[in-house]
Amino acid sequence: MAAIAFDPLEYARALESSGVPREQAEVHAKAMTQVFVHNMDALVTRDYLDTRFSEFATRWFYP
């Protein structure tokens, strides 16, 4: 399974280094973390698709 690496602390530091105030950078990093966590359940991976396509092909060609 694929993994998505997101470091909110590093993200907040990158925002700060580009001029975003610390408090705003921290809030933005927290919001991005919540988006990633919320959407991971709906993530479709290549492995999942390969499995589903194989199942479909097996049923279609070999009933």
pLDDT digits (tens, 9 = 90+) for 7-52: 999 999 999 999 999 999 999 999 998 888 777 777 778 888 888 8
**pLDDT value of position 15:** 96
Nearest CA among 10, 60, 62 for reference residue 33: 10
Output the six-digit token pair for 19.
């001029």
Residue 30 lies in a domain: yes
Residue 55 lies in a domain: yes
Q: Which residues contact 28 (CB under 8 A, 6 or more apart)?
A: 11, 12, 15, 20
Between CA 52 and CA 54 the distance in angstroms is: 5
Residue 48 lies in a domain: yes
Range of the domain at 29: 22-61
**pLDDT value of position 37:** 77
H or E segment at 4?
A: none
pTM, to two decimals: 0.58
How many structural domains are present in the chain? Answer: 1
Residue 11 lies in a domain: no
**pLDDT value of position 62:** 62
